[in-house]
Amino acid sequence: MIEEEIAEKYADALFELAQEEDELETIVDEFDEVAALVEENEELNQVLEHPGLDYKQKKKILEEVFSGQLSTTFLNFIKLLIDKKREVYLPQIHQQFIDMLAAKENRLTVAVETPIELSDKHQSKLKDKLQSALDKKIELEIEVKPDLIGGLVLKIGNKVIDGSIKNYLQEVELNLQTLEVS
């Protein structure tokens, strides 16, 4: 819970600053690149999380790594995180930042689990129905899970709509187990 509050606080501050400075697109691109780099590069991740390095050393290393590649605004933001000992929250701050951008653009990502690959026509129909029902621009993240047998599972934010045959069969099984036989 505290992680979320910290991430939201810093993401909100960066988001507001990026809008004020008219650098939102630049900051989004840079944040995506840095977050991916930190996730993929174990050495950089170790530098950020190393307890033996003081904040001056970490900032110097990051300045060397990102010199000329990042805007002053974003580089200063990363330095601020280091000064406040919040650099370990970079992935959570990035996710909050992306969520804020999606809200601003009225976008929503819906995770779809399906037993078979959906055709472009079916994806388009699903997207249109969700856009109509939710009044948002929908982006689908589709994952094929054959064990669902049929139907779909939709994950919208923190809600799950399970219309799979697997779920239906589990419910039938549960009902049969609780049925009293006379």
What's the pLDDT tens digit per position in 170-182? 999 999 998 887 6
Band of the pLDDT at 61, cuts 50, 70, 90?
confident
Instruction: Answer yes or no: is pLDDT of 5 > 90.
Output: yes
Mean pLDDT, range 135-159, rounded to an integer: 95
What the chain holds in terms of domains, given with CATH numbers, is: 2-102 (1.10.520.20), 107-178 (3.40.30)
Q: Sign of the CA dihedral 142, 143, 146, 150?
A: negative
**pTM for the full model?**
0.75
Looking at residue 179, its pLDDT comes to: 84
Residue 130: CB atoms within 10 A of its CB come to 20
Q: Among 23-27, 36-40, 129-133, 147-151, whose mean pLDDT is lowest?
A: 36-40
Looking at residue 182, its pLDDT comes to: 67
Rounded to the nearest 10 degrees, the angle between the axes of helix 42-49 and helix 55-66 is 150
H-type alpha helices, 67-137 = 72-83, 90-104, 120-134
Looking at residue 172, its pLDDT comes to: 93
Residue 89: CB atoms within 10 A of its CB come to 20
How far is 129 from 126, CA to CA, in rounded Å? 5
How far is 7 from 47, CA to CA, in rounded Å? 20
